A and B are shown apart, each in its own frame.
Chain A
Amino acid sequence: MELSFARTWLPYIYLYGVGGIIFLTGMFIIFKSKSINIVRPRHKKWFGVLIFGFLWYMFLHGFSILAALNF
């Protein structure tokens, strides 16, 4: 049985679309407020961790969908 787009990739796009807007808003605010200051070496590492985390989850979900669909 062919799985519909609403069952396969639409949730993924919605998750990282709407979730991405929330994430970027957070990044914007902490930069703008200088709560994170990448001039400080420790904060520079944290900036990397924040971006890595987003991509890490994007990868985990994307890979799981592909595995489920036997790609």
Chain B
Amino acid sequence: MQQVSSTFWIIIFAYFTLILGFGSYFARYNKTTNDFFFSGRRFSWWLIAMSIVATGVGSHSFLKYSAKAYEHGFSSTMTYMNDWFFIPFFLFGWLPIVYYTKVKSIPDYFEKRFGSGVRKLATFAILGYMIGYIAIGFLTMGKTLQPILGWNIYTIVAVVAVIAGIYITFGGQTAVIFTDLAQGFILIFAGILIFVLGINYVGGFSIFWNSLSPEFKLPLAHFNEPSNFNFSGIFWQDGVAGSVGFLFMNQGLIMRFMATKSVNEGRKAAAFNILFLLPISTIVVSNAGWVGKSISILTPEKWDATVKLDHVFTQVAGLITTSEVVFAFIIAAVAAALMSTVDTLINAVAAVVVNDVYKPIVKDRDDKHYLKVAMIVSAGATALGAISVVFFNNFPTLYEAHGFFHSTMTPPLVVAIFLGIFWKRYTTEAAVATFIGGAFLMWLGNKYPGILIAPFDHGIEMDPEHPYSYIRALYNTLVCLSVGVVVSLFTTPKTEEEMDGITVWSLDRAREKFKGSKPNDREGKKPITTWKIVEGQDELVRFSQKEMDFMAAEVGDLVYISDSRGWLGGLKSCHSVYGKVHDEEGMVYISAEIADSAMFVEGKTVKSEKEM
């Protein structure tokens, strides 16, 4: 057990108070369930991109990747570096569809595309996926703090669950986004700090680099060995099932993109995140393992070789930080990062339960009622996630627990979403078969891996304890895909009219439906003006002809107005529709309701842009 003094605990407590207080401050922006779940679709790309870092890097990553980095070297970066292949599908397929169809949840899309029966199946599957993810987050927290506290892992999980539950229950999506924004910066800083301190500890970069073997430094693992970490298995488990699962069926992430002010901002957030923040993030989460290996080679007397793999991160942090303050900061950053992942998922579970389970049963209640239910569900999801930790604690490492989870939970949903969006021929009956038939064939594969999964094993040896942990994702995806395709070929698809605006083949119609009339795609500019409240104009906003021309806008087009201080990232903003022009140049007329919901500050200018 790592020895720490009261200073350590004071810093941990102060950090948590600060970061959770920062997020909770923004809870005052939650006025409706739309705000609680989607933050009113208002934020800029950079704010969402940074907050996604904390959601993705969040909980399990530091421990999980440090363990694999120590064991297998730079190939621990594979997971973060294989997401681009699916990005055309996401940026120009799924993202505009969820945005323009205004779906409240992924099951909501399933109802639009296939009907209520498939929606129920999808709700069940997606809740299972997210609760499992929450459980892995809690388990990580337990493993991070166990070497320091020496408590039983389940006691730690219970304490963490109570803190996370209270915070998310009252905070909502805006609190989540702002906590994650702060966390994103701090996590990257903490990760780079570990690397710098680690390099310094071993005596400089060239000593660090030369201490490691070429094999250790290769960025991709061996093609098919060992069975618990090989390239082909991880490609299918993580690069395919994991990446698609994260991008397409992680309700938490989808809600984050739906909080952007437009589809284009969502695209920018996703592209920037994958192109630049993920390569940085992978170094941030893995480097403790590389440094640990270097220390174990250069100064073996200082390295406890008996340490459990999931505790490598904590041991390295303890060794390289000469000051307890720095050690406490790093542990606090990682611990609070857990909140960033878990809070997103808890909020997402609440969104699915309220929109897909509760509202269809208890209809026509006021928004306050649903907001209250959302809070109760958030608390329940936290408790359920904490209980589910028992199952995932059976795996040797977090990496393997997560790998198994992705390989088994994601394929039916991923296949159903994918075929639903991109293949018009995919039928409702086929979607049901994908879930039920696919699950059955996956169960068969699990029971007889040596017969059913072996043909796809790429030469990977079967570990009888955990057979084909990763490459089973290929078998599972293929069987779900086959069932979906075969059943589609023998059943009747929906008509073009029935699928209007809900597949990639009719996105223009989705945009038209979103706006309520034909989109105006003329490129315009963004004027900065003053504003004033003028009553009697409903929810419309009015500009002078000069500004309308500047924005290339017409009456009836959609407009987005935000406080002109860019660093607010759209926190004070609103969407509206252009009303008839007035003759006061440099001024926008808005109603009191709009000014109130946008939280504009008197005397501050606003920036306006035509959406479509």
Interface residues of A, Cβ cutoff 8 Å to B: 1, 3-4, 6-8, 10-12, 14-15, 18-20, 22-23, 26-27, 29-30, 33-36, 40-42, 46, 49-50, 52-54, 56-57, 60-61, 64-65, 67-70
With A6-B223, A64-B74, A65-B219 given, is the CB distance from A53 to B507 under 8 Å?
Answer: no
B residues at A contact (CB < 8 Å): 74, 81-82, 84-89, 91-93, 96, 214-215, 217-224, 231-232, 235, 239-240, 264, 267, 271, 274-275, 279, 422, 504-505, 507-508, 521, 523
Q: Do A53 and B271 form a contact, CB below 8 Å, given A23-B84, A29-B422, A68-B219?
A: yes
In whole Å, how far is B417's beta carbon from the nearest beta carbon of chain A?
A: 14
Once the chains bind, are B239 and A49 in contact (CB under 8 Å)? no
B262 to chain A, nearest CB (A): 11
A63 to B521, CA, bound (A): 41
- List 13 interface pairs A-B (beta carbons < 8 Å), by A numbering: A6-B224, A7-B222, A8-B218, A22-B85, A22-B240, A27-B88, A30-B504, A33-B504, A60-B219, A61-B220, A68-B215, A68-B218, A68-B219
- Taking the closest CB of chain A, its distance from the CB of B238, in whole angstroms, is 12
When the two chains form their complex, are residues A69 and B86 in contact, meaning their CB atoms are under 8 A apart? no
Is there an interface contact between B231 and A14, defined as CB atoms closer than 8 Å? Answer: yes
Quote the shortest CB–CB distance from B145 to chain A (angstroms). 33
Expressed in whole angstroms, the Cα–Cα distance for A57 and B271 within the complex equals 13
* Alpha-carbon gap, A36 to B85, bound state (A): 16
A29 in contact with B89 (CB, 8 Å): yes
A57–B217 touching, CB < 8 Å: no
Return A64 CB to nearest CB of chain B, in Å.
Answer: 4
Known: A15-B220, A40-B521, A53-B271. A70 touches B214 (CB 8 A): yes
Min CB distance, B472 to chain A, in Å?
Answer: 17
Partner of A46, one of B232, B267, B507, B508: B267
Given the complex of chains A and B, what is the CA–CA distance between A9 and B116 in angstroms? 48
B230 to chain A, nearest CB (A): 9
Chain A residue contacts of B507, Cβ below 8 A = 33-35
Closest CB in chain A relative to B610 CB, distance in Å:
13
By a CB distance below 8 angstroms, the chain A residues around B93 are 26, 29-30, 35
**Which residues of chain A have C-beta atoms less than 8 A from B508's C-beta?**
34
Contact of B88 among A11, A23, A40 (CB under 8 A): A23
Question: In the complex the two chains form, what is the Cα distance from A60 to B221 in whole Å?
Answer: 15
Q: How far is the CB of B340 from chain A (nearest CB, A)?
A: 25
- Asked, given contacts A6-B224, A26-B87, A33-B505, whether A60 binds B81 with beta carbons under 8 Å apart, the answer is yes
Q: How far is the CA of A46 from the CA of B93 in the complex (A)?
A: 13
* A12 and B82 alpha carbons, distance in the complex (Å): 11
Q: How far is the CA of A52 from the CA of B275 in the complex (A)?
A: 9
Minimum CB distance partner of A70 in chain B:
B214
Q: Do the beta carbons of A11 and B223 come within 8 Å of each other?
A: yes
Q: How far is the CA of A69 from the CA of B275 in the complex (A)?
A: 25
A11–B221 contact, CB under 8 A? yes
CB-defined contacts of A69 to chain B, threshold 8 Å = 214, 218
Which chain B residue shows the least CB distance to A6? B223
B235 partner residues in chain A, CB cutoff 8 A: 11, 14-15, 18-19
In the complex, what residues of B have CB within 8 A of residue A33's CB? Answer: 504-505, 507
Q: How long is the Cα–Cα vector from A27 to B207 in the complex, in angstroms?
A: 44
- CB < 8 Å: which of B92, B220, B267 contacts A11? B220
CA distance A4 to B82 in the complex (A): 23
**Which chain A residues border B274 with CB–CB below 8 Å?**
53
B231 touches A46 (CB 8 A): no
Query: In the complex the two chains form, is A19's CB within 8 Å of B214's CB?
Result: no
Note all chain B residues with C-beta closer than 8 A to A68: 74, 214-215, 217-219
Give every chain A residue within 8 A of B264 (Cβ-Cβ). 42
Nearest A-chain residue to B220, judged by Cβ: A11
Contact between chains at B523 and A53 (CB < 8 Å): no
Docked Cα-Cα span, A33 to B239, in Å, equals 25
| Complex-state Cα separation, A20 to B507, whole angstroms | 25
**Given known contacts A33-B504, A33-B505, A56-B275, is B219 in contact with A61 (CB within 8 Å)?**
yes
Q: Which residues of B contact A19 (CB under 8 A)?
A: 82, 84-85, 235, 239
Across the interface, name the chain A residue whose C-beta is closest to B264. A42
Given A34-B508, A42-B264, A67-B217, is A61 in contact with B85 using a C-beta cutoff of 8 Å? no
Contact B219 A22, beta carbon cutoff 8 Å: no
* Cα A42 to Cα B275 with chains together (Å): 19
Q: How far is the CA of A1 from the CA of B218 in the complex (A)?
A: 14
Known: A14-B232, A64-B219. Contact between A53 and B86, CB under 8 A? no
Bound together, the chains give a CA A1 to CA B215 distance in angstroms of 10
Measured in the bound complex, the distance between the Cα atoms of B77 and A61 in whole Å is 10
Residues of B within 8 A of A8 (CB): 218
Cα distance, A4 to B231, chains bound together (Å) = 14
**A23 near B85: Cβ-Cβ < 8 Å:** yes
Q: Verify A35–B523 contact, CB threshold 8 A.
A: no
A43 closest partner in B (C-beta): B92
Chain B residues, CB < 8 A from A61: 81, 219-220
